[in-house]
Amino acid sequence: MTDLIERLRWYPKEIGENRLMHEAADEIERLDASRDRWIAQLKVLIAEKQRLEATLQRIENWCKAYPRAVFIEPTKEQWAEANRVLDEAGGCSLTAISGSNMRHVVEGIQKIITEALDKEQT
């Protein structure tokens, strides 16, 4: 690109036709600089997209941590029996345990999201 600009500016600017070549050279330089800025911005956006995709992948991994094939879903009867046994053993309900487990999962996902948002702001 620089060679073209130099050739356009080789002729004296004062001659009418040459002025157009100089203006063309100026415009080519302006567009060239603009292209470089857009490419730099695009690289930033691509890096940000990759970082956010990695964050989503971490969340997806959390979601796959307890597959039904390994941790079979209890029946209503099994839930009721477990709740009765826990209540008799010390007054702790299955609802309290489930709430604690869900809080752990949600807090883990919140941590992943918070880390991603903190990196975005720096």
Hey, what amino acid is at 61? N
Q: DSSP letters along 38-98, please?
A: HHHHHHHHHHHHHHHHHHHHHHHHHHTSS-TTTSPPPPHHHHHHHHHHHHHHHS--HHHHH
What residue has token string 């002025």?
Answer: 19
Q: Please give the pLDDT value at position 119.
A: 78
Tell me the whole-structure pTM to 2 decimals: 0.61
Residue 15's pLDDT band, with cuts at 50, 70 and 90, is low
Q: What is the pLDDT of residue 103?
A: 94
What token pair was written down for 114?
Answer: 């918070």
Query: Can you read off the two tokens belonging to residue 52?
Result: 């956010």
